[in-house]
């Protein structure tokens, strides 16, 4: 029996740590350049063009940056919401740009006190962060479960899109029944249709 057969598949936690370690090594310039390409690819999709209201994460900690995407989407007349966390709940809140974001208790930028909650059924496109994605649209998040809970209860007819650097996409993630897949993944090198 060869060694490969004896090897256990990596757990979600091992995959998360391994990929986040790679992501942490990216320079700010790397993140910026790759993220701008991701944003430009996303702006050309039908999902983006057909959306009136977009719910997108506000990037931090070397994630694929949404800064250019948010700026450009607003210029193109889209309504932009970002996640606001209250206890175990996350909901979309309208923002008027990067300046309306403040770090929350986790250090993640989120809409400030004067932001308005947006009804989930009004959202046409959800941009989802992730530590790791696979080719079928499964994702490993930060481990807190906010997006899985939100998407399970509030996806409605919205399209979902994951933004990630290409090395964050692997062939297969060990999926669980409660995991919600994304419809598309956009990296700096390709657009992956997951359906």
Q: Tell me the pLDDT tens digit for each residue of 28-59.
A: 999 999 999 999 999 999 999 999 999 999 99
User: Residue 1 — pLDDT band, cuts 50, 70, 90?
Assistant: very low
Using a 10 angstrom Cβ sphere, with 0-12 exposed, 13-18 middle and 19 or more buried, the burial of residue 131 is: buried
What residue has token string 């496109």? 125
pLDDT at position 3, please? 45
Check residue 122 and report its DSSP letter.
G
Q: Tell me the pLDDT tens digit for each residue of 150-179.
A: 999 988 899 999 999 999 999 999 887 777
Strand partners for 138:
none
User: Residue 98 — pLDDT band, cuts 50, 70, 90?
Assistant: confident
Q: In whole numbers, what is the pLDDT of the chain averaged over residues?
A: 90
The answer for residues whose C-beta is within 8 angstroms of residue 136's C-beta and 6 or more apart is 172, 181, 194
For the chain, the 3-state helix, strand and coil shares in percent, each to the nearest 5, are: 35, 25, 40
pTM of the predicted model as reported, rounded to 2 decimal places: 0.91
CA dihedral 85, 90, 96, 97 (to 10 degrees): 70
Give the residue with greater pLDDT, 5 vs 94: 94
pLDDT at position 4, please? 47
Helix (H) / strand (E) element for 23: namely: helix 12-24
Domain 9-180+187-193 CATH class label: alpha beta
Cβ atoms of 142 and 131 within 8 Å: the answer is yes
CB atoms near residue 64 (< 10 Å): 27
Cβ atoms of 150 and 90 within 8 Å: the answer is yes
The mean per-residue pLDDT over the stretch 62-70 comes to 95
Q: Tell me the pLDDT tens digit for each residue of 85-94.
A: 888 889 999 9
Strand partners for 170:
134
Give the residue with greater pLDDT, 145 vs 168: 168
Q: How many Cα neighbours within 13 Å face the side chain of 168?
A: 32
Is residue 6 over pLDDT 70?
A: no
Sequential DSSP letters for 85-122: EETTEEEEEEESSGGGEEE-TTS-EEE-TTPPB--GGG
Sketch the domain layout of the chain as residue ranges.
Answer: 9-180+187-193
Helix (H, G, I), strand (E, B) or coil at 169: strand
pLDDT at position 5, please? 47
Cβ atoms of 151 and 126 within 8 Å: the answer is yes
Q: Is the dihedral of CA 14, 31, 160, 70 positive or negative?
A: positive
Is residue 9 over pLDDT 90?
A: no
Q: Is the dihedral of CA 33, 25, 58, 104 positive or negative?
A: negative
User: Residue 7 — pLDDT band, cuts 50, 70, 90?
Assistant: low
């Amino acid at each position: 029996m060869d060694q490969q057969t004896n090897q256990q598949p990596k757990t979600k936690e091992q995959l998360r740590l391994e990929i986040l370690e790679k992501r942490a090594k990216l320079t700010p310039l790397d993140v910026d350049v790759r993220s701008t390409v991701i944003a430009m690819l996303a702006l050309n999709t039908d999902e983006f063009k057909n959306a009136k209201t977009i719910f997108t994460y506000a990037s931090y900690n070397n994630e694929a940056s949404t800064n250019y995407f948010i700026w450009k989407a607003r210029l193109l007349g889209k309504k932009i919401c970002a996640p606001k966390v209250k206890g175990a709940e996350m909901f979309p809140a309208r923002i008027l740009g990067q300046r309306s974001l403040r770090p929350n208790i986790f250090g993640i930028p989120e809409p400030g006190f004067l932001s308005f909650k947006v009804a989930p059924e009004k959202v046409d496109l959800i941009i989802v962060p992730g530590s790791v994605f696979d080719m079928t649209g499964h994702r490993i998040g930060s481990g807190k479960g906010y997006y899985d809970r939100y998407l399970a209860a509030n996806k409605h007819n919205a399209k979902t899109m994951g933004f990630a650097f290409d090395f964050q996409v692997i062939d297969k993630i060990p999926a669980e029944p409660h995991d919600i897949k994304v419809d598309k993944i956009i990296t700096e090198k390709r657009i992956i249709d997951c359906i």
